Structure 1
Amino acid sequence: MSVNNLYRQWTQQLLPRYLADELVEIASDEQAMEDRFYQYVSFGTGGMRGVLGAGTNRMNIYTIRRAAEGLARYVAANGEAAKARGVVLAYDTRHFSYEFACETARVLGAHGIRAYVYQEPRPTPQLSFTVRELNAFAGVIITASHNPKQYNGFKLYGEDGAQLTPQTANEIIQHMNSIEDIFAIEVAEVSALEEQSLLTWLLAELDASYLKQLITLKETREVALDMKLVYTPLHGAGLAPVREGLRAFGFTDVAIVEEQVVQDGAFPTIPYPNPEEAAAFTLAMAQGQQIGAELLLATDPDADRLGVAVWNGVRYELLTGNQLGALLLHYLLTTKQQNGTLPSNGIIVKTIVTAELGAKIAESFNVMTENTLTGFKYIAEKIAQYEATGEHTYLFGYEESYGYLIETFVRDKDAVQVALKVAEMAAFYALQGETLLDQLEYLYQKFGYYQETLISQIFEGKNGQEEMQAILQCLRQSIPNEIAGLAVQCVEDYLTGKATLANGETENLTLPKENVLKFILADGTWIAVRPSGTEPKCKFYIGVVDETMEAAQDKLEIMVQAVLKLVK
């Protein structure tokens, strides 16, 4: 159906006023109309994420029902046992998150599928945990993670508590594509579903179960439990589990940024609800200085990403995802080694765009490192694989974008676990008169000064997607022999599954196919290019290492300029 016909179809429906008004506003704006109707919100292995509003390319109750209908048909195709096991539904604090969760339950209920729905916003990792705890057949969380306030999403999980495999996602997409009329999708009433026991509300009991597992991360070693720290949930869903977890760990001086406790999808105190950004820490830094806090913690709206800032004696210094990952890894492995619990077949898992410092640290403990494509679902797959085969014992998994997982009762990145462990780690070093920054310098001196950066270019709308693909295609057709004077030793093309060496020889890559290019240069510098899976961006990752911080930072700046020139 054409864009104009789809627009007319939507205007002829009895829509909620806010959606109807939006369509009236764009009646004479062809570009706005095309952007809203040229496709359905893109649905991948993780589900879908998009801007809120009216149209097929927007997040609204109708596109949510379409995704829920696809899921319902998939569950029903797996039989009555799958329908009885049901689907767990959670949601963050974004606009319409609760409504979208209820719409999903209503669609599932119309198919006789049981839904377990949280009564209050809860984190993505708690959703993953709950799917496993209740032996549910699937899970959904309504969230757009750290995206801007105008976004929301529909994120799907399998019965193992991990994000869906491509095969399962494709089955659901096929069901979605077979829906002829998005407005004819059947929905049941919430009250009727409650009466039929097809809708069960969750909260206190599952909160307690999740907390019980979190407490297993606590070490018995002596730490400075009176260390002052500040935590902010950034208006999101992390408050309850992080606050209770810190209390259970024994921390006695935890300040909460009260202005950001308010669960508000407008995120009124911050420009962007992303703990990777220094601006997200503005209020926490002010409060931290006021009380003399050594450590600041921030979780994103669905509490799967953690940001950390450390007092350096003059100001608060924000750790990168790579730095925090290295610190956690070294602390975890050192603790296990001292406790005599470090297995001989241990393995850590990281993504191909995560710094190599972690691999160097692991190597020093005789622990293997395995690389995966970007996306925590790939790390979860490795956890399941090694549980089944016993070949390796999973010890830690992480990605540079502030995502980490320690214990496997969750199968996605878990900022709650990590917030508690970072507090414990900082308190351990505080007892020795050191900060996390002191420990980071120790790692640099021992393994090399690793520095990384990320350049993101935004490509919105249909034309933007085409431009982004053109960049990747151009790089493939014109592979450089050198970048910034450094020879290109290897080009890894994950779309073709081939690695091409400088002498022209090729090797097969073992990872799944994905639209990613990675250039490895003569001195160990690397550059990776990939379209974002959740935002209209093309991302350029750069990693360097040198013998001093100054040399590494100089090299990084040279590479940034070279990359910008390369993709101009």
Structure 2
Amino acid sequence: MLGHGTAILIIPSYINSECIKKGETGIVTWKAKAEKWLAYKDLDKELMKLLLNMDHQSLEDSFYKDLEFGTGGIRGELGPGTNRMNIYTVRRAAKGLAEYICQKGETAKTRGIVIAYDCRRKSEEFALEAAKTAGMLGIKVYLFDELRPTPELSFAVRYLNASAGIVITASHNPPEYNGLKVYGEDGGQITPSAAQKITGFIKRVEDELSIQVMDVNELQNRGLLTFIGEEIDNAYLEKLKTIQLNKHIAREDGNNVKIVFTPLHGTAKNLVCEGLQALGFSKITLVKEQEEPDSEFRTVASPNPEEHSAFKLAIQYGTEIDADILMATDPDADRLGVAVRNGQGKYAILTGNQLGAIMLHYLLTQKKKHGILPENGAVIKTIVTSEIGRAIATDFGIKTIDTLTGFKYIGEKIKEFEETKQHIFQFGYEESYGYLIGDFVRDKDAVQAAVFAAEVAAYYKSKGKTLFDGLHDLYRKYGFYLESLISITLKGKEGAEEISDILKSFRENPPKKVAGIKITIIEDYHIGKRFNVLTGQVENIHLPKSNVLKLYLQDDSWISLRPSGTEPKIKLYFSVKSLSENQSAKLLERLENEVINKIEKIKVKIL
């Protein structure tokens, strides 16, 4: 074991350099933090070992800032440091949430926090640390006994009438990441105002290394810790049955639908399989190499169903059994990807926009047929999600409401609907493979999406069609909407500055044309303004401010730029619409190339 004296003796020389003057903000800050951690005699052994072997650049990246508590929580690479995920940064975030609950009073403390975790490195340990931290302040904790999907955590908060929820996950990030996501009492991700208050409590924590936690046995003895599991599973599965619109289709055609499913080493296996079977789908083939949890995600480059390579094994399985639909969920089971046979008989992976459009059209068609489509129904989508959803909803007399990117905003709208009775929620989705059909969950739910997609596949099969055929029926009716997303990864402090400079350049010097087509409208969500380039008219955008820029072209195409809230990336969204698939594909490629070229020129200027 490394003692206090040993740690000081081997602190890297550049930490104690006398040439660093007090007034040099930033340098002093990160070096002082690193020195404090190195000198802490009770520091976790594994973290100390990593710390002592870090080079100058790694050490600076690990301490140059505190891991930021965003509107959803914290997420980052695992390792020592204030800018990394470890037991101390987890305790710090959990302490902030616990203090936030305490200031609401004894009832809020008694209602407690529900905590779930996924299969990632340290997830179970971090979940327990969060429980021990909250318990220290006398807050009741419900902790899942095994890993569970994120949407089940959302459901459990509502089912148990808890004050808040925590899930330890980094969603589809690479293996070296983990995170802590916070949910409010409605089961939705916390609102920006709640996040701001929690952040205030977190900032009051002066020393993350000295946060006190309670022993697990003592927590249980005091009645502050209850392990949960099967009861919540069963209650969730009962609710899952309520999203089925045509029981006879599953009963008559469900056994004819061949499904290949992969949880991509994550948490979705049990609930998806049990849900499919409960709703009448029995021909489920699991991708054996990927069905069990694995924190290293060994069979995929990325455990993200948005990445086509994640479907490689599923496609092999599908080809062998001639499957009708292939499904893949991300590690925490809030995103669903689907592949189906295309016109050439090969498996094509649907985009989030495409699957969303297919499910939305089926849902509205069947509700109208059964006489259960409300006049004041509403579909909720994000500002970077395809406009084909609006076209479909309008065709059925249903309003479409846009939110900022992030399902927390969709959850907020559902809560608003409940309170104001202005609209009745029908469907929510975002282009990044997130869908919600039943509002008993208030976050995107891949389990719901999987069983609903199976029903839609059964419906089309009963008509002698595939989901791909159904998609092209929609294109012929509403227009050939095509979209794409390009993510540029820029890591570390320098990467963050580079992303900021790219957005600044587009704001200060926006292009007048892209692919020869005029820019007509610029929406800057950072300042909440909508500029009509042609008329000079300026309007307010009635959404929370966010670092997003959206450019509309004269032909109704659009481009959007935003930094990722969870990864070191800038995301570029493109959308086009024309009368033919070929025309849309060509235009989309031209838009992508011109924007990428502009960004490359900006990066060269920065360097």
* Residue 448 in structure 1 maps to residue 476 in structure 2: no
Distance in 2, Cα, partners of 1:343 & 1:95: 45
- Residue of structure 1 equivalent to 2:172: 146
- Residue of structure 2 equivalent to 1:473: 504
Q: CA deviation at 1:480?
A: 2.2
The letter of the residue matching 1:5 is A
* Residue 385 in structure 1 maps to residue 416 in structure 2: yes
- Residue of structure 2 equivalent to 1:403: 434
Contact 2:482–2:577 (Cα < 8 Å) also in 1: yes
Listed one character per residue, the Cα deviations across residues 462-514 of structure 1 (whole Å, up to 9, x for unaligned) are: 11111111111111111222222111110001111111102211111111111
Residue 376 (structure 1) aligned to one of 407, 412, 432: 407
The letter of the residue matching 1:48 is I
* Residue 542 in structure 1 maps to residue 571 in structure 2: no
- Residue of structure 2 equivalent to 1:197: 223
- Residue of structure 2 equivalent to 1:294: 324
Distance in 1, Cα, partners of 2:86 & 2:532: 48
* Residue 5 in structure 1 maps to residue 3 in structure 2: no
* Residue 110 in structure 1 maps to residue 142 in structure 2: no
Listed one character per residue, the Cα deviations across residues 348-395 of structure 1 (whole Å, up to 9, x for unaligned) are: 010110011111111111111111110111111111111111111110
The letter of the residue matching 2:209 is F
Distance in 1, Cα, partners of 2:133 & 2:524: 41
Residue 212 (structure 1) aligned to one of 238, 253, 268: 238
- Residue of structure 2 equivalent to 1:78: 104
Listed one character per residue, the Cα deviations across residues 200-251 of structure 1 (whole Å, up to 9, x for unaligned) are: 0011111000001001112323242121111111111111110110110111
The letter of the residue matching 1:183 is L
SS of residue paired to 2:361: helix
Distance in 2, Cα, partners of 1:480 & 1:225: 51
- Residue of structure 1 equivalent to 2:376: 345
Residue 552 (structure 1) aligned to one of 560, 572, 584: 584
Distance in 2, Cα, partners of 1:566 & 1:181: 44
Listed one character per residue, the Cα deviations across residues 93-152 of structure 1 (whole Å, up to 9, x for unaligned) are: 101100000000000111110100001111111000000000000000000001111100
Distance in 2, Cα, partners of 1:15 & 1:243: 42
Distance in 2, Cα, partners of 1:339 & 1:220: 12
SS of residue paired to 2:384: coil
Distance in 1, Cα, partners of 2:490 & 2:313: 31
Task: Give aligned-pair identity as a percent.
Answer: 50
Distance in 1, Cα, partners of 2:406 & 2:136: 33
Question: Aligned ranges for residues 183-262 of structure 1 at < 5 Å?
Answer: 183-218=209-244, 219-223=246-250, 224-226=253-255, 227-262=257-292
Listed one character per residue, the Cα deviations across residues 250-296 of structure 1 (whole Å, up to 9, x for unaligned) are: 11211111221221111111111001111111111111111221111
Distance in 2, Cα, partners of 1:137 & 1:334: 37
Distance in 2, Cα, partners of 1:167 & 1:523: 38
Listed one character per residue, the Cα deviations across residues 433-452 of structure 1 (whole Å, up to 9, x for unaligned) are: 10000000100011111111
Distance in 2, Cα, partners of 1:5 & 1:406: 50
Q: CA deviation at 1:30?
A: 1.4
Residue 414 (structure 1) aligned to one of 434, 440, 445: 445
Q: CA deviation at 1:567?
A: 2.1
Residue 425 (structure 2) aligned to one of 394, 403, 413: 394
- Residue of structure 2 equivalent to 1:524: 556
SS of residue paired to 1:567: helix
Distance in 1, Cα, partners of 2:196 & 2:542: 22
More displaced 10-residue stretch of structure 1: 233-242 or 285-294 = 285-294
Q: Unpaired runs of 5+ in structure 2? A: 1-27, 601-607
- Residue of structure 2 equivalent to 1:335: 366
Root-mean-square deviation (CA), in Å? 1.0
Relative to the length of structure 2, the TM-score reads 0.92
More displaced 10-residue stretch of structure 1: 173-182 or 323-332 = 173-182
* Residue 563 in structure 1 maps to residue 595 in structure 2: yes
Distance in 1, Cα, partners of 2:320 & 2:44: 47
Distance in 2, Cα, partners of 1:162 & 1:184: 31
Q: Unpaired runs of 5+ in structure 1? A: none
The letter of the residue matching 2:221 is E
SS of residue paired to 2:443: coil
Listed one character per residue, the Cα deviations across residues 396-445 of structure 1 (whole Å, up to 9, x for unaligned) are: 01000000111100000001001000001101111111000000010001
Residue 126 (structure 1) aligned to one of 136, 152, 155: 152
Distance in 1, Cα, partners of 2:311 & 2:509: 42
The letter of the residue matching 1:25 is N
More displaced 10-residue stretch of structure 1: 473-482 or 228-237 = 473-482
How many corresponding residue pairs? 566
Distance in 1, Cα, partners of 2:209 & 2:596: 46
SS of residue paired to 2:364: helix
Distance in 2, Cα, partners of 1:30 & 1:176: 28
Contact 2:249–2:455 (Cα < 8 Å) also in 1: no
Larger radius of gyration: 2
* Residue 19 in structure 1 maps to residue 50 in structure 2: no
Distance in 2, Cα, partners of 1:216 & 1:143: 28
The letter of the residue matching 2:144 is Y
- Residue of structure 2 equivalent to 1:66: 92
* Residue 160 in structure 1 maps to residue 186 in structure 2: yes
Distance in 1, Cα, partners of 2:74 & 2:305: 22
Distance in 1, Cα, partners of 2:519 & 2:334: 36
* Residue 316 in structure 1 maps to residue 344 in structure 2: no
Residue 336 (structure 2) aligned to one of 306, 313, 318: 306
